[in-house]
Structure 1
Amino acid sequence: MVGKTSGGEGITTRILRARAAEPAWVWATAIAIPLMLLAPALWNGYPLLQWDTGGYLARWYEGYLVPSRSTVFGLYLHFGEGSNFWINLGIQALATLWILQLTLRVLGMAKPLRLLGMSLALTLTTALPWLSSMLLTDIFAGLSVLSLFLLVLHGDKISGIEKFALFAFTAFAAATHSATLAVLLGLCCVGWAARPFLRDRIAVAGLVQGTLTTVAGAAMLLSANFALSGELAWTPGGYGVAFGRMLQDGIVARYLRDHCPEQHLKLCPYRDQLPATADQFLWGNSMFNALGRFKGLNDEMGFIATHSLAEYPLWQAEAAIVATARQLVHVATGEGTNGWIPHTYGIIERYIPAQLKPMRAAHQQHWDLNFAGVNWLHVPVALVSMSLVFAMFASAVFRRKADDLALFTGTVSLALLGNAFVCGVISGPHDRYGARMVWVATFVMLIAAVRRFGRDDEPRDDSFSL
């Protein structure tokens, strides 16, 4: 009979029954998911902190620019200080909920129970709840890829208010970290290059809006830098971080051996004593401190970095490929989130002493955090998810398929590769840079699994939204 399922129940009846039960599930989903996303912070008793958190917190108070610390994110943290930063975590959890459900909605998969199930899977198997619970820019890296995907490729399925909100969110995310801005800009460039071949799927209006988010993010960062420091300048530190990666690869030692002492560089006396890693050089007790850190060595590091590119191009290219490949597999959760973060503790003690008591009472400050067990699950899930996303994208390209799932896998694949290139080549491979992006690949796999194994007779109802 027309309109009947194999069990004899009409599809219309099932839709009506589902809609009658939906309000309760919408409310349950809207409450349960933020709680799941903030479970680590709720257990900790205070927002999770990281090595770099203090540098962002200090931007409001110190009034000058420091390498790799966005003033925009510093202002965002200052906004939440009065709530012990729980406002910030609330914003992060709600933004995650909103973007996850909006992604499902534009893909025609918006159901409360489905969103709840996927969120639970992401909470248990990826770094997502740890990112949401932390005072760090990393949560915005993966979310901004999803928000750009929605704005550029599915703008016709969302309202004007949602477009405005996505635009503002993506611009803000771009302003929180230069690597995030670079990944988003790279995705837009690929979109413009692909449009002649995908005219029916990639609208010019969407690409323009997406590209303008990066422009707005850059303008936001420059404005915040000027407002806090009086300098109309980009956040410093790019040369220093790139120099650190070249030092780690042995390129700096080779350059110093080839050009000292005729160039009279400050590092020449230390050319045989350079630390083995960039972290030891930049953040440890090295000659970097004795030579004035970034203020004293920034020009020299920039000089060596740029001249090394010209003198050893093949070595640099090989190092870049190796760094990108290594970054792709550095995906463990929790790097830099432990009990030993003295700089962040010192910043809170100096500028926000009212928060010392709850901060010191937290589990993290008692060394109760250990990610070894977590990563027995997170790392294989991340690597398998990433491999499958790459395989799906390659298959779609080979078959010249351009449906919404193919475009989604393509966007995420390029974002993962771009993130690995930018972070691996500039900063050197770190688990933190991989974990903040790779959870999106697991989200793609959950969507693909539902598409592949979901019930064909399930009534479609795309009206659900939060």
Structure 2
Amino acid sequence: MVLLTGGRGISNIQILDERTTEAGAAWLPVIVLPLFLVAPALWNGYPLLQWDTGGYLARWYEGYLVPSRSTVFGLYLHWGEGSSFWLNLGLQALATLWILQLTLRVLGLAQPLRLLWIGLLLILTTALPWLASLLLTDIFAGLSVLALFILVTQARRTSALEKCALFGFVAFSSATHSATLGVLLGLCCAGWIAYPWMRRQIALSGLIQASMTIVAGAAMLLAANFALSGQLAWTPGGTGVAFGRMLQDGIVTQYLKDHCAQEKLKLCPYRNELPPTADDFLWGNSMFNKLGRFEGMNDEMGFIVKRALAAYPLWQAKAAAVATAEQLTHVATGEGTSGWVPHTYGIIERYIPSQIKQMRAAHQQHWEINFAVVNWLHVPVALLSMLIAAAIAAHAVWRRRRDDVALLAVTVSLALLGNAVICGVISGPHDRYGARIVWIATFTVLIAATRWFSGSERPAQQ
């Protein structure tokens, strides 16, 4: 009896130890990953800032709409202002953790240590921690693609509460940036096209919900614009950004040379002095400032964009193809996050003076961030990840594979291509536009590798 009792006692102790170990392992990624995701900001001593951050921050205070600055994201930043924006970074880190673990769970790869090492590899080899540590919309671009994928293809493996959370998250993400909304809309359209042939993989209810997130995001943006400015209008700036890309490609200069003799345009006297890049024209000290910036030039820029599209269709098509290809290769981390962000500094100094001291003490403001070193690793990893993800997607299409990893690879490849088309063609190629979304290709490759080496292939949904 003593031996039996002792045996049961030892067995119970072993079971308790195993459960304690499992519980500890489950909490490990929850504690470690969020800290590492905001490690750049913790080291910096203040959330990372970017050229465009100030424009979003100012929306609450200035009460009018400006090009390409979402009022929804401006309100989100204002919500965390009292915490010196650490609440924003905390939410961004937790949202990232949630989407990563949920993706792994619905794909049958839910193990705490697996989540931990995949998360740490992403933090080390991609822009993910820099995006999570940055006061900008970019972190939501990639996360929303994964959330949309889960909503559409994994409806049977998510609860009603998770579906509601995913719906709200995707809607909010689409409202933070027009390019993100465009990518998500394109994925929904692709889902509707594929649905007749993939009824077992694509849930109709999920596809409807995903499509409604776009409607909800648009409504959210219009409501925020009206609340802050009194205007029921879309965020301005689309034609101005497209004009900048055409200027950079030489199309605007040619249009002015061909038509200034017949048309009286404000830019005609400057047709031989136009800056070489869109950034120089729109954000530098150019004639754009003399002519009233967006308020004074919106109508004329829109006029030239429409006429130039009709006047040079082949040139426009070639320029669009080149811009898309170039955007796919522009993936370096850190564009616009150097020490040179004077407009953002000025906005913080004007409207949030209590944070001037800690902002000025941050490493970023002393030019102590070297993204050249970071990109020695990030750029080759990003480019290789895109190629592998595209190869997985192409192989799946060729072999008519419809398993979960194949669906994820196709979704991510379409998102990367759509992002390149929207950002490259409209705004012109920039590293920031590629870096903010390419990390999901690395995540996809890590998932595919895990499936391959673990032998845990899951068949397509029946």
Normalising by structure 2, we get a TM-score of: 0.95
Query: Could you report, residue by residue, the CA deviation over 1:186-233 in whole angstroms, capped at 9, with x for unpaired residues?
Result: 000000000111111112111100000000000000000000000000
What is the match of residue 91 of structure 1? 91
Q: Say whether residues 1:433 and 2:433 are aligned partners.
A: yes
Q: Say whether residues 1:390 and 2:397 are aligned partners.
A: no
Displacement of 1:26 in angstroms is: 1.6
What is the match of residue 26 of structure 2? 26
CA distance in structure 2 between the partners assigned to 1:306 and 1:253 by the alignment? 15
Displacement of 1:393 in angstroms is: 0.4
Displacement of 1:454 in angstroms is: 2.1
Alignment of 1:360-375 (within 5 A): 360-375=360-375
What is the match of residue 10 of structure 2? none
Q: Say whether residues 1:253 and 2:268 are aligned partners.
A: no
What is the match of residue 271 of structure 1? 271
Q: Which runs of 5+ in 2 are unaligned?
A: 1-13
CA distance in structure 2 between the partners assigned to 1:15 and 1:283 by the alignment? 64
Q: Report the number of matched residues.
A: 445
What is the match of residue 401 of structure 2? 401
Alignment-mate amino acid for residue 215 of structure 1: V
CA distance in structure 1 between the partners assigned to 2:382 and 2:86 by the alignment? 28
CA distance in structure 1 between the partners assigned to 2:157 and 2:346 by the alignment? 47
What is the match of residue 311 of structure 1? 311
What is the match of residue 204 of structure 2? 204
CA distance in structure 2 between the partners assigned to 1:96 and 1:144 by the alignment? 10
What is the match of residue 330 of structure 1? 330
Displacement of 1:455 in angstroms is: 5.9
What is the match of residue 342 of structure 1? 342
Alignment-mate amino acid for residue 301 of structure 2: M
Alignment-mate amino acid for residue 176 of structure 2: T
Displacement of 1:21 in angstroms is: 2.4
Query: Could you report, residue by residue, the CA deviation over 1:233-285 in whole angstroms, capped at 9, with x for unpaired residues?
Result: 00000000000000000000111011003210000001111111000000111
What is the match of residue 3 of structure 2? none
What is the match of residue 237 of structure 1? 237
CA distance in structure 2 between the partners assigned to 1:45 and 1:17 by the alignment? 39
Displacement of 1:27 in angstroms is: 1.5
Structure 1 residues 127 and 309, CA, compared in 2 at 3 Å: closer, same or farther?
Answer: same
Q: Say whether residues 1:183 and 2:183 are aligned partners.
A: yes
What is the match of residue 11 of structure 2? none
What is the match of residue 50 of structure 1? 50
CA distance in structure 2 between the partners assigned to 1:45 and 1:129 by the alignment? 15
Secondary structure, aligned partner of 1:451: helix
CA distance in structure 2 between the partners assigned to 1:97 and 1:16 by the alignment? 28
Alignment-mate amino acid for residue 162 of structure 1: E
Secondary structure, aligned partner of 2:340: coil
Query: Could you report, residue by residue, the CA deviation over 1:4-37 in whole angstroms, capped at 9, with x for unpaired residues?
Result: xxxxxxxxxx999865522101212111000010
Alignment-mate amino acid for residue 287 of structure 2: M
The 4+ residue runs of structure 1 with deviation greater than 2 A are 14-21
Alignment-mate amino acid for residue 48 of structure 1: L
Alignment-mate amino acid for residue 225 of structure 2: N
CA distance in structure 2 between the partners assigned to 1:281 and 1:322 by the alignment? 21
Q: Which runs of 5+ in 1 are unaligned?
A: 1-13, 461-466
CA distance in structure 2 between the partners assigned to 1:260 and 1:21 by the alignment? 76
What is the match of residue 9 of structure 1? none
CA distance in structure 1 between the partners assigned to 2:276 and 2:339 by the alignment? 24
CA distance in structure 1 between the partners assigned to 2:450 and 2:349 by the alignment? 48
CA distance in structure 2 between the partners assigned to 1:112 and 1:392 by the alignment? 26
CA distance in structure 1 between the partners assigned to 2:240 and 2:431 by the alignment? 20
What is the match of residue 8 of structure 2? none
What is the match of residue 321 of structure 1? 321
Secondary structure, aligned partner of 2:395: helix
Query: Could you report, residue by residue, the CA deviation over 1:412-431 in whole angstroms, capped at 9, with x for unpaired residues?
Result: 00000000000000000000
Normalising by structure 1, we get a TM-score of: 0.94
What is the match of residue 149 of structure 2? 149
Structure 1 residues 18 and 108, CA, compared in 2 at 3 Å: closer, same or farther?
Answer: farther
Worse-superposed segment, 20-29 or 323-332: 20-29
Displacement of 1:453 in angstroms is: 1.2
Across the aligned residues of Structure 1 and Structure 2, the Cα RMSD in angstroms comes to: 1.5
CA distance in structure 2 between the partners assigned to 1:192 and 1:17 by the alignment? 50
Query: Could you report, residue by residue, the CA deviation over 1:95-152 in whole angstroms, capped at 9, with x for unpaired residues?
Result: 0000000000000000000000001000100000000000000000000000000111
Displacement of 1:311 in angstroms is: 1.1
